[in-house]
């Protein structure tokens, strides 16, 4: 089969699910990753022919994509902050907005000086925790999640595998130098709706969290592929108590944030002011709302 023909078939099967530019992007990304070819090979080399094995793999992938499964689960990875993270349906696919949270946190951590202590609540794939640990060489980073399966994904990230164990589909840029492979995130299974446990390091300089924040009533605005494939435990909160996880983060921060420490949480843009007020009334200072790429209220920052 010619690559061009596969692209045509892929477009016809994905266009009912996605806007045309997105369908094209998904198919091109699939071919790029699976075949290790340039994105526009179909145009620069119109006679590019797929091997029998490649056709089989791509056809199977296309079946999953056409059933609505997100590309990241089909490929088993998602790129975040310049690194490749393993993802499975047990973890939320890291979102680009969350990179803004990491940017803010890294600015603060770098100002802090040596060995900042960082706590990531609701760590999921570990994308925030690992980014902090890999960007700040001497940081001590803890990641907490209630889901054992999510923690397995977080602990199995490729950064501490040797290059020979890294699959061929993993791009060169995700192969980190040896110094990065020795970095660690301490992962802990805990329910943040309960009281915090004792941490051997005492308090933290930074507490970060992207907790579940989508209200049940917002489900109707969401795409079927998110609703059907991403873990609902990672996403949803009841309409009658949408800030339940922020109360928990505030409680853990009252107990665990050092004096002078900073917290940053990702939030539901519809609840920006209510979330800010929650941290103000929990006794934190310098509480502010930060925006995302589209100008929506997306984060609350607070200090102790």
Q: Which two tokens stand for residue 207?
A: 């507490």
Of 213, 194, 210, 215, which is closest to residue 121 (Cα–Cα)? 210
Which of residues 146 and 289 has its CB atom nearest to ligand SAM in the complex?
A: 146
Strands (E), 58-154: 77-80, 83-86, 117-121, 140-145
Out of 26, 27, 128, 207, the residue judged to bind ligand SAM by CB under 6 A? 128
* 255 near ligand SAM (CB under 6 A): no
Segment contacting ligand SAM by CB under 6 A, of 46-54, 68-76, 190-198, 274-282? 190-198
* 138 near ligand SAM (CB under 6 A): no
Which of residues 94 and 263 has its CB atom nearest to ligand SAM in the complex?
A: 94
* 94 near ligand SAM (CB under 6 A): yes
Q: What's the CA gap between 125 and 155, in Å, rounded?
A: 8
Out of 26, 87, 108, 122, the residue judged to bind ligand SAM by CB under 6 A? 122
* 234 near ligand SAM (CB under 6 A): yes
Segment contacting ligand SAM by CB under 6 A, of 10-18, 124-132, 251-259, 286-294? 124-132
Phi, psi of 286 (to 5 degrees): 50, 45
* Beta-ladder partners of 188: 144
* 233 near ligand SAM (CB under 6 A): yes
Out of 10, 116, 212, 272, the residue judged to bind ligand SAM by CB under 6 A? 212
Distance in Å, CB of 117 to ligand SAM, minimum: 18
Q: What is the DSSP letter of 47?
A: T
Q: What's the CA gap between 287 and 262, in Å, rounded?
A: 10
Which of residues 31 and 271 has its CB atom nearest to ligand SAM in the complex?
A: 271
CA torsion sign for 34, 35, 41, 42 is negative
Q: What's the CA gap between 133 and 130, in Å, rounded?
A: 5
* Beta-ladder partners of 141: 118
Q: Which residues bind ligand SAM (CB under 6 A)?
A: 91-92, 94, 98, 122-125, 127-128, 145-147, 150, 191-193, 210-212, 233-234
């Amino acid at each position: 089969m010619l690559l061009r023909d596969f692209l045509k078939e892929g477009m016809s099967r994905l266009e009912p699910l996605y806007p045309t530019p997105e369908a094209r992007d998904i198919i091109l990304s699939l071919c790029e990753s699976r075949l290790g070819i340039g994105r526009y090979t179909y145009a620069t080399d119109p006679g590019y022919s797929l091997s029998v094995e490649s056709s089989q793999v791509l056809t199977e992938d296309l079946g999953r994509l056409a059933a609505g499964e997100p590309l990241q689960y089909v490929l088993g990875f998602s790129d975040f902050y310049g690194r490749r993270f393993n993802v499975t349906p047990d973890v939320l696919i890291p979102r680009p907005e969350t990179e803004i949270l990491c940017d803010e946190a890294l600015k603060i951590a770098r100002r802090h000086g040596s060995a900042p202590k960082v706590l990531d609540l609701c760590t999921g794939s570990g994308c925030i925790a690992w980014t902090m640990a890999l960007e700040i060489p001497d940081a001590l980073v803890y990641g907490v999640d209630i889901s054992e399966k999510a923690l397995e994904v977080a602990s199995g990230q490729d950064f501490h595998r040797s290059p020979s164990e890294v699959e061929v589909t993993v791009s060169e840029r995700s192969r980190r130098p040896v110094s990065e492979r020795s970095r660690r995130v301490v992962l802990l299974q805990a329910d943040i709706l309960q009281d915090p446990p004792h941490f051997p390091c005492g308090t933290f300089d930074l507490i970060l969290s992207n907790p579940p924040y989508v209200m049940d009533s917002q489900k109707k605005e969401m795409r079927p592929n998110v609703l059907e494939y991403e873990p609902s435990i990672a996403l949803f909160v009841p309409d009658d108590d949408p800030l339940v996880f922020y109360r928990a983060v505030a409680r853990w921060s009252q107990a665990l944030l050092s004096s002078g420490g900073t917290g940053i949480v990702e939030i539901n843009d519809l609840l920006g002011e209510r979330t800010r007020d929650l941290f103000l009334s929990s006794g934190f200072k310098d509480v502010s709302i930060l925006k995302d790429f589209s100008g929506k209220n997306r984060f609350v920052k607070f200090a102790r």
